[in-house]
Amino acid sequence: MQLTLTPEYLASQGLSPTFPARFWSKVNKEGPIPEHMPHLGKCWVWTGGLDNNGYARIRSGGTPSKKIYAHRASWTLANGRIPSNLDVCHSCDNPSCVNPNHLFTGTARQNVQDSISKGRWKFTKWKGGELHPASKITDAKVAIIRAMKASGEYSQTEIAKNQGVSNGIVSMIVRGLHRKINQSI
């Protein structure tokens, strides 16, 4: 069934009557074929602005006009309203792709599971410890703190001063709350 893009439908989606023409004018339908899913065919690459994560953005032109994700707009133009509890996900894993045939709807959990199953989920690459992007202490320093505490020669306060960390961090490390005790260091 072909979706009819009436002015009423566009307005109900927060899009201006000129939105479809503006949208499609920024699409290159001769994009790459995803190597891991060649059966999908070519990506339709957005030629307009991208955010820091490579996702395409466009102004809705509605009242009020706001920036929206182009892949979500593509889904809305091709398939209709996006259910409020669902994301629009990329089968091709190309964030700038707006090919409606490369898009599917799913929950946030399904989107993450899809990402993990394809090896794209960035958090699976972090092994924890000092490799975690939020880490402020090296694995070597954790080992030193544990060894100092195990020796019985130093108080927690002395260890904290010696290693340039807070008393609380020392406490969490020696109790295995900051880094798992069985984690390889």
Q: Tokens in use for 131?
A: 């490799």
Average pLDDT over residues 79-85: 91
Residues β-bridged to residue 137: none
Q: Tokens in use for 31?
A: 């994009």
Angle between helices 139-151 and 167-174 (to 10 degrees): 80
Residues β-bridged to residue 59: 67
Model confidence band, residue 182 (pLDDT cutoffs 50, 70, 90): very low
pLDDT in tens, 34-81: 988 899 999 999 999 888 888 999 998 877 778 899 999 999 999 999
Fold of 7-124: Homing Intron 3 (I-Ppo) Encoded Endonuclease; Chain A (3.90.75)
This prediction's pTM:
0.63
Q: Are strands 67-69 and 87-90 parallel, antiparallel or unpaired?
A: unpaired
Tally the residues of the chain: 185
How does DSSP classify residue 4? P
Model confidence band, residue 124 (pLDDT cutoffs 50, 70, 90): very low
Cα separation of 106 and 104, whole Å?
Answer: 7
pLDDT in tens, 139-164: 788 888 988 898 889 999 999 999 88
2: helix, strand or coil: coil
- DSSP result, 87-107: EEEESS--TTB--GGGEEEE-
Residues β-bridged to residue 28: 45
